[in-house]
Chains A and B, each alone.
Chain A
Amino acid sequence: MPADGRTAPAVWQTAGFGIYVHWPFCAAKCPYCDFNSHVAAQIDHGAWADAYETDLDRWAALTPGRLVHSVFFGGGTPSLMEPATVARILERIAQHWHFANDAEITLEANPTSAERDRFSGFRAAGVNRISLGVQALNDGDLQRLGRLHNVAEALAAVDMARAEFDRVSFDLIYARQDQTEAQWRAELSTALSVGMDHLSLYQLTIEPNTPFHARHQRGGLHGLPTEDRAVRLYELTQDLCANAGLPAYEVSNHARPGSESRHNLIYWRGGEWLGVGPGAHGRIEQTVGRIATAALRSPDAWLRAIAAGHSGLEEKSTSNRREQAEEYLMMSLRLSEGSDLGRLCDLGYELQQDRLAELIADGLLERQDSQLRTTARGRLLLNAVLSELLSD
């Protein structure tokens, strides 16, 4: 405790407190997706709403007094939730905690017509930000990505969302099969011309345990970019977005200054968040230390566990200060603002100065006052930089 008697600010005060709610169902699985999503014939919406409430009650007992900066409905496809379920969850959150004045309530949505029709219901429930899974502005590629919408529907959904919500973002996947720089330039320019203030732009990654991965292993999935082309596509993305006033604030996220996703910043800044719903991960600060939690992945198993009065967690572990520091570096170096070395210092973590000096000399990291950041080149090599920086 500082000498003047004031308490040092808690993690949630400096880096935020958020609640992640996972809705595990999709209308159909996409071949590139490795998220915890399931296609179910029938969903008992009432039972799910009950379970989320019960889970929130339990979390509330562990994290009293926080100010909620953000709630994020992710999935799966949370736009397939009943607006009433969303409403019940937000009401229950309001019963347990106070919302910050500018709290961000995001919901991920697919731009199909069925989901568009629920937008007003979600807004009425309290959602104020929509993140649309547009993924491509090219009908052929939307087909190949296994998406259920076309470009016209996507753009219509963007318009409707912007009419309904204060803040809208959408995702695009690039570095796709056979995608040229010219094609991507055209597509991204279209996206930027819509006048968005936030875009998430991901390079296609072939993740294990996905149909794409299996195809790739069999020698299929031709025309994926070489490393050089992937780099050129990435650099093109940075340039186009920066020129449009949406510089990258994270590896794959671009925003007009002030329009960054507050929720995701909580992750990258090492804040505190609850993971509610199957497969959701959380980080909470307890007197014993920082706890990492992971809920059961199977929707049925989670639902049954919660209904039976259990925690529904499959993992709950206390991170030591070194692990916390490493995780903080791993996450915060993704941000343009970089890592706060003061935070590392508070955790008693010392970077290996020789390694650090070398990475700075090699033009991969840079340091300004107490912030450590990647350079443009270093950010593209972040995994390798981290492995160097954190190796024993």
Chain B
Amino acid sequence: MTELSRIRNFSIVAHIDHGKSTLADRLIQLTNTVAARDMQEQMLDSMDIERERGITIKANTVRIEYPAKDGHTYILNLIDTPGHVDFAYEVSRSMRAVEGSLLVVDASQGVEAQTLANVYQAIDADHEIVPVLNKIDLPAAEPDRVREQIEDVIGIDASDAVEISAKTGLGIPEVLEAIVTRLPAPTGDRDAPLKAMLVDSYYDAYLGVVVLIRVIDGVIRKGDRIKMLGTGGTYPVDRLGVFRPKMADIAELGPGEIGFLTASIKQVRDTRVGDTITHERKGADTPLPGFKPSQPVVFCGLFPVDSNDFEDLRDAIEKLALNDASFSHEMETSAALGFGFRCGFLGLLHLEVIRDRLEREYGIELITTAPSVVYHVFLRDGTMQELHNPADMPDLTIVDHIEEPRIKATILVPDEYLGDVLKLCQDRRGIQLDLTYAGSRAMVVYDLPLNEVVFDFYDRLKSVTKGYASFDYQMEGYREDSLVKMQVLVNEEPVDALSMMVHRDRAEQRGRAMCEKLKELIPRHMFKIPIQAAIGGRVIARETLSAMRKDVTAKCYGGDATRKKKLLEKQKAGKKKMRQFGKVEIPQQAFISALKMDG
């Protein structure tokens, strides 16, 4: 075990591209945690998607041993956290597992949106924060201006910010020293009953479920029988260790330490982020505060483009689900799209990540239907149904009222974009709760329906503020509103995959936008195609896709037959990417694009 005073636990908060991964790599390198020959870029991002998108989905940890200038060797534990709002809960748990943060800011770019959301998480978790100005070697670096900005916008003292270049290695020793001298040591009671926080977990093909833990009180040893307070599961600890960043076994983990355990846990599903791990016997009774089971908030249908891939899709989804407790799935049948799955996600990024992984790692081409939130449909008989799919909406005659999930959204934005942000929130049926200023930044708080946010709110926000807004939200429960199911009919046939729940006041606008969009997305046919949006039997918007009138090759002689044939073959291949609705063929891309509304 390590003495508490010789431990420092920290995370790194940074905007994408501001150098978080590079700094982590340098810290690992400089302390010889990894042999030089094993070094690769972005050591901590293990999945391809993480590396490519520059995002972190799973928390990672690394344990670094650092001989400080005071002559003592310290154990530094870095937890790399996901930075996206979809994983806000996971981030808050990771933040609670450490005592301090390095706030990395690009010395030429300054503080940006994403930094804010995460740094507030760190402040919420009572972190000591050490500002680090990166890319100081660039000619455009303006450390003084950025220092001032950090003080104005975030409100923390940046006068002794560490100036570094993660790329060249400049200033890295100073960062290590600052971690030791400026971040607090953890506290904890070695003799108290075991309390360890489950920070994250993932599935390893050889080891089964690997659980990342932070010990708060007590000591955990290999062979101990442990219990998860939230789920009630009990397991024997098979293996205990730390990441350097490769797994290394350790005899015990005491207060303040961060490491991993394996315990014959079969599925990630059996582990809950934020849960409290204690001993089965003489364990703690009260869990650590803040635990909540993760709940999918966004649902959509995933269908294989090629219906023959359905079984492969089922296998792939089940495999992914083993490693992701926050992702739910059940089989779904669509008249238009055949067999598929209705899946639940933490948010849109989570949805995209899962979809990307299914397509990439399992090679299955997918059609994704409109994302939807979970509605509470109250029937006249007093019962309530959870509605995950607009297609399942009960008959209106038996519906009493419908409630929808609301969120409390906090948006930080430079004041020059405030008007656009307020307009966006109002357009999305938002109710303003608060508006304050911090320096030249405005902080607006809105009560918004989640369903208005799941489509493309974040994209719109980024685009109207040129990326300078930061956005965070929390669920605020359900509220009744005037909601209706809008159907889309193409050539008089309803396309179930395009059904959606909308507010009655917005229905016409949405319907019109949808019809206009589909008119662009559906290729013209040899006959004219009415595209309609309807509520119940009432058409609220209509567009007509005119018939194609001319599609003939002007010249076709002996030498053209071969070329023409190739064209025909290409057309045939193109048709495979279409879905047939009655006589109309709709390209798959239309299902995805139609749901992205512009404003």
Q: In whole angstroms, how far apart are the Cα atoms of A205 and B567 in the complex? A: 16
- The residues of A that contact B551 with a CB separation of less than 8 Å are 380-384
Closest to A20 in B: B558
Which residues between 377 and 414 of chain B lie within 8 Å of chain A, taking CB atoms?
Answer: none
Q: In whole angstroms, how far apart are the Cα atoms of A126 and B519 in the complex? A: 57
- The residues of A that contact B527 with a CB separation of less than 8 Å are 362
Interface centre among B525, B527, B549, by most A CB within 10 Å? B549
Q: In whole angstroms, how far apart are the Cα atoms of A231 and B549 in the complex? A: 7
Q: Does A234 lie at the interface of the complex (its beta carbon under 8 Å from any beta carbon of B)?
A: yes
Closest to B575 in A: A391
- The residues of B that contact A364 with a CB separation of less than 8 Å are 526
Contact of B550 among A282, A380, A385, A387 (CB under 8 A): A380
CB distance from B480 to the nearest CB of A (A): 48
Contact of A362 among B526, B552, B553 (CB under 8 A): B526
Which residues between 97 and 114 of chain A lie within 8 Å of chain B, taking CB atoms?
Answer: none
- The residues of A that contact B567 with a CB separation of less than 8 Å are 383
Contact of A294 with B562 in the complex, beta carbons under 8 Å = yes
**Contacts A202-B554, A364-B526, A383-B551; is A323 near B572 (CB within 8 Å)?**
no
CB distance from A266 to the nearest CB of B (A): 8
Per-residue B-contact encoding for A344-367, CB less than 8 Å = 1, 0 else: 000000000000001000101000
Which residues between 252 and 273 of chain A lie within 8 Å of chain B, taking CB atoms?
Answer: 252, 264, 266-267, 273
Contact of A281 with B559 in the complex, beta carbons under 8 Å = yes
Contact of B555 among A202, A234, A323, A385 (CB under 8 A): A202
Closest to B547 in A: A381
Contact of A283 with B550 in the complex, beta carbons under 8 Å = no
Contact of A234 with B550 in the complex, beta carbons under 8 Å = yes
Q: Does A337 lie at the interface of the complex (its beta carbon under 8 Å from any beta carbon of B)?
A: no
Q: In whole angstroms, how far apart are the Cα atoms of A334 and B561 in the complex? A: 12
Q: In whole angstroms, how far apart are the Cα atoms of A358 and B571 in the complex? A: 20
Q: Which size class do A's interface residues fall under?
A: 35 or more
Q: Does A68 lie at the interface of the complex (its beta carbon under 8 Å from any beta carbon of B)?
A: no
- The residues of A that contact B552 with a CB separation of less than 8 Å are 251, 379-383
Q: In whole angstroms, how far apart are the Cα atoms of A294 and B562 in the complex? A: 9
Q: Does A221 lie at the interface of the complex (its beta carbon under 8 Å from any beta carbon of B)?
A: no
Q: In whole angstroms, how far apart are the Cα atoms of A273 and B562 in the complex? A: 14
Q: Does B206 lie at the interface of the complex (its beta carbon under 8 Å from any beta carbon of A)?
A: no
Per-residue B-contact encoding for A22-52, CB less than 8 Å = 1, 0 else: 0000000000000000000000000000000
Q: In whole angstroms, how far apart are the Cα atoms of A194 and B559 in the complex? A: 30
Contact of B526 with A205 in the complex, beta carbons under 8 Å = no
Q: In whole angstroms, how far apart are the Cα atoms of A234 and B575 in the complex? A: 28
Interface centre among B548, B550, B562, by most A CB within 10 Å? B550
Closest to A18 in B: B558
CB distance from B582 to the nearest CB of A (A): 11
Which residues between 275 and 328 of chain A lie within 8 Å of chain B, taking CB atoms?
Answer: 275, 279-283, 292, 294, 323, 326-327
- The residues of A that contact B555 with a CB separation of less than 8 Å are 202, 205, 252
- The residues of A that contact B554 with a CB separation of less than 8 Å are 202-205, 251-252
Which residues between 558 and 599 of chain B lie within 8 Å of chain A, taking CB atoms?
Answer: 558-559, 561-562, 564-565, 567-568, 571-572, 575, 583
The A-B contact count (CB < 8 A) is 97
Q: Does B556 lie at the interface of the complex (its beta carbon under 8 Å from any beta carbon of A)?
A: yes
Q: Does A230 lie at the interface of the complex (its beta carbon under 8 Å from any beta carbon of B)?
A: yes
- The residues of B that contact A387 with a CB separation of less than 8 Å are 568, 571-572, 575
**Contacts A231-B549, A381-B549, A384-B526; is A330 near B559 (CB within 8 Å)?**
no
Contact of B548 with A381 in the complex, beta carbons under 8 Å = yes
Q: In whole angstroms, how far apart are the Cα atoms of A266 and B568 in the complex? A: 21
- The residues of A that contact B526 with a CB separation of less than 8 Å are 362, 364, 381, 384-385, 388
Contact of A330 with B558 in the complex, beta carbons under 8 Å = no
**Contacts A202-B555, A381-B550; is A390 near B568 (CB within 8 Å)?**
yes
- The residues of B that contact A279 with a CB separation of less than 8 Å are 559
Contact of B548 with A384 in the complex, beta carbons under 8 Å = yes
Contact of A323 among B525, B559, B565, B571 (CB under 8 A): B565
Closest to A384 in B: B551
Contact of B556 among A251, A275, A362 (CB under 8 A): A251
Q: Does A228 lie at the interface of the complex (its beta carbon under 8 Å from any beta carbon of B)?
A: yes
Closest to B567 in A: A383
Contact of A281 with B558 in the complex, beta carbons under 8 Å = yes
Which residues between 210 and 231 of chain B lie within 8 Å of chain A, taking CB atoms?
Answer: none
Q: In whole angstroms, how far apart are the Cα atoms of A327 and B558 in the complex? A: 11
CB distance from A23 to the nearest CB of B (A): 13
Interface centre among A204, A323, A384, by most B CB within 10 Å? A384
Q: In whole angstroms, how far apart are the Cα atoms of A273 and B557 in the complex? A: 11
Q: In whole angstroms, how far apart are the Cα atoms of A388 and B526 in the complex? A: 10
Q: Does A386 lie at the interface of the complex (its beta carbon under 8 Å from any beta carbon of B)?
A: yes
- The residues of A that contact B558 with a CB separation of less than 8 Å are 20, 266-267, 273, 275, 280-283
Q: Does A392 lie at the interface of the complex (its beta carbon under 8 Å from any beta carbon of B)?
A: yes
Q: Does A4 lie at the interface of the complex (its beta carbon under 8 Å from any beta carbon of B)?
A: no
Q: In whole angstroms, how far apart are the Cα atoms of A28 and B583 in the complex? A: 48
Contact of B562 among A281, A380, A390 (CB under 8 A): A281
Q: In whole angstroms, how far apart are the Cα atoms of A364 and B551 in the complex? A: 13
- The residues of A that contact B550 with a CB separation of less than 8 Å are 227, 230-231, 234, 380-381
Q: In whole angstroms, how far apart are the Cα atoms of A283 and B575 in the complex? A: 29
Q: Does A214 lie at the interface of the complex (its beta carbon under 8 Å from any beta carbon of B)?
A: no
CB distance from B204 to the nearest CB of A (A): 44
CB distance from B179 to the nearest CB of A (A): 56
CB distance from A377 to the nearest CB of B (A): 8
Per-residue B-contact encoding for A6-21, CB less than 8 Å = 1, 0 else: 0000000000000010
Q: In whole angstroms, how far apart are the Cα atoms of A388 and B572 in the complex? A: 9
**Contacts A231-B550, A379-B552, A381-B551; is A267 near B561 (CB within 8 Å)?**
yes
Contact of B572 with A327 in the complex, beta carbons under 8 Å = no
Q: Does A67 lie at the interface of the complex (its beta carbon under 8 Å from any beta carbon of B)?
A: no
- The residues of A that contact B571 with a CB separation of less than 8 Å are 383, 387, 391
Q: In whole angstroms, how far apart are the Cα atoms of A251 and B552 in the complex? A: 8
Q: Does A331 lie at the interface of the complex (its beta carbon under 8 Å from any beta carbon of B)?
A: yes
Contact of B557 with A264 in the complex, beta carbons under 8 Å = yes
Closest to A328 in B: B561
Contact of A327 with B561 in the complex, beta carbons under 8 Å = yes
CB distance from A63 to the nearest CB of B (A): 15
Q: In whole angstroms, how far apart are the Cα atoms of A264 and B583 in the complex? A: 35
Contact of A292 among B525, B562, B564 (CB under 8 A): B562
Per-residue A-contact encoding for B176-207, CB less than 8 Å = 1, 0 else: 00000000000000000000000000000000
- The residues of B that contact A384 with a CB separation of less than 8 Å are 525-526, 548, 551
Closest to B557 in A: A267
CB distance from B445 to the nearest CB of A (A): 46
- The residues of A that contact B525 with a CB separation of less than 8 Å are 384
- The residues of A that contact B557 with a CB separation of less than 8 Å are 264, 267
- The residues of A that contact B583 with a CB separation of less than 8 Å are 358
CB distance from B446 to the nearest CB of A (A): 42
Which residues between 509 and 554 of chain B lie within 8 Å of chain A, taking CB atoms?
Answer: 525-527, 548-554
Q: In whole angstroms, how far apart are the Cα atoms of A331 and B572 in the complex? A: 18
Contact of A330 with B572 in the complex, beta carbons under 8 Å = no
Q: In whole angstroms, how far apart are the Cα atoms of A382 and B526 in the complex? A: 10
Which residues between 168 and 223 of chain A lie within 8 Å of chain B, taking CB atoms?
Answer: 202-205
- The residues of B that contact A392 with a CB separation of less than 8 Å are 572
Q: List 23 interface pairs A-B (beta carbons < 8 Å), by A numbering.
A: A205-B554, A227-B549, A231-B550, A251-B552, A251-B553, A267-B561, A275-B558, A281-B561, A323-B565, A326-B565, A327-B561, A330-B561, A330-B568, A331-B556, A381-B550, A382-B551, A383-B551, A384-B548, A387-B568, A387-B575, A388-B526, A390-B568, A391-B575
Chain A interfacial positions (CB closer than 8 Å to B): 20, 202-205, 227-228, 230-231, 234, 251-252, 264, 266-267, 273, 275, 279-283, 292, 294, 323, 326-327, 330-331, 334, 358, 362, 364, 379-388, 390-392
Q: A204-B554, A330-B568, A387-B572 are in contact. List 13 more A-B contacts (CB 8 A).
A: A202-B555, A251-B553, A280-B558, A323-B565, A330-B561, A379-B552, A380-B549, A381-B551, A381-B552, A383-B552, A390-B568, A391-B572, A391-B575
Kindly list the 3 A-B residue pairs having the minimum CB-CB distance in the complex, ordered from nearest: A281-B559, A382-B552, A202-B554
Chain B interfacial positions (CB closer than 8 Å to A): 525-527, 548-559, 561-562, 564-565, 567-568, 571-572, 575, 583
